[in-house]
Amino acid sequence: MHRFEVPGAKIAWSFSDESGHPVVQLHGLTSSRFRDRVLDLDLGRGLSGTRLLRYDARGHGHSTGRPVPEDYQWTALAEDLLRLLDLWFPDEQVHGVGPSMGAGTLLHAAVREPDRFSGFTLLLPPTAWETRAVRASDYVRSAEFIETYGFDRFVEAGRNAPHPPASVGHPDSVPHVSEELLPSIYRGAALSDLPHPDQIATLDHPTSILAWIDDPGHPISTAEALVELMPNSQLQIASTPSDVQGWPAVLAADVVRHEQ
């Protein structure tokens, strides 16, 4: 198991070196490299001719962490990302790809060090700004439920939750996070938001934003707002699983375009 030590955690990573453009791939909240593959959100699968770094965020998958909510704020995750880029791709511009929490992490890293990135493929942008407060309350309630009733009851309670139509058909999966850390991870998410719109408006990197319909946790409104703010961005909206199957090709085209 390859792990990179950062303050308060050890980050599990994998690296595929095909001698091309550097790409870093992140995942969503309570997910991991493995779980995103199950959910068809691993856009790097089949990506050739790149140097692809994938990793599990602290507390997720095979990475370690502490039961400290502030460790899981997106600003803290952005610091982990920048440390990994310093290790793997010093003095190079990297293409960033990731869903939800991963997209938030990339944007926080980008407003801090915009020159580290050549472009982005952002999937399923999460609730942000005016829509964030309700979602944050949901995360706090989830943390309290887990602490009161346990992980298994929490997973069972969520089994019948509605799914976006574009995500239907995937095998059942559970959070790839330990019961000990999951409440802190949810509380860290509740403390998080995307960077201020004025900061995002400074990012002129070529960017594809990929969203899907009927998902309150990842509303189309956030994706549309990002397209309005980011001057060099474009939006694609998926309605069916077959639409999502086309997303890896979007990433591949983005990377090729940014190399030119």
pLDDT averaged over the chain? 94
Residue 11, pLDDT above cutoff 80: yes
Is pLDDT of 220 > 80? yes
Eight-class DSSP state of 167? G
Tell me what pLDDT residue 2 has.
Answer: 86
Per the CB < 8 A criterion, the answer to whether 195 and 201 are in contact is: no
- Which DSSP string corresponds to 63-129? ----S-GGGGSHHHHHHHHHHHHHHHSTT--EEEEEETHHHHHHHHHHHH-GGGEEEEEEES----G
**Residue 157 vs residue 81, higher pLDDT:** 81
Q: What's the pLDDT score for residue 4? A: 94
Predicted pLDDT at 30? 95
Higher pLDDT pick, 47 / 31: 31
How many other C-beta atoms can be found within 10 angstroms of the C-beta atom of residue 132?
17
Higher local confidence (pLDDT), 234 or 159: 234
pLDDT higher than 70, residue 146: yes
- Residue 260: pLDDT band (50, 70, 90) is low
Residues 158 and 195: their CA atoms lie apart, in Å, by 29
**Cβ neighbours of residue 217 closer than 8 Å, sequence gap 6 or more:** 100, 126, 127, 135
| Topology of domain 3-259, CATH | Rossmann fold (3.40.50)
Q: What is the mean pLDDT of residues 8-29?
A: 94
Q: What is the per-residue pLDDT for 66? A: 97
Find the mean pLDDT for residues 101-130.
Answer: 98
Cβ contacts of residue 103 below 8 Å, gap of 6+?
Answer: 26, 120, 122, 123, 124, 125, 126
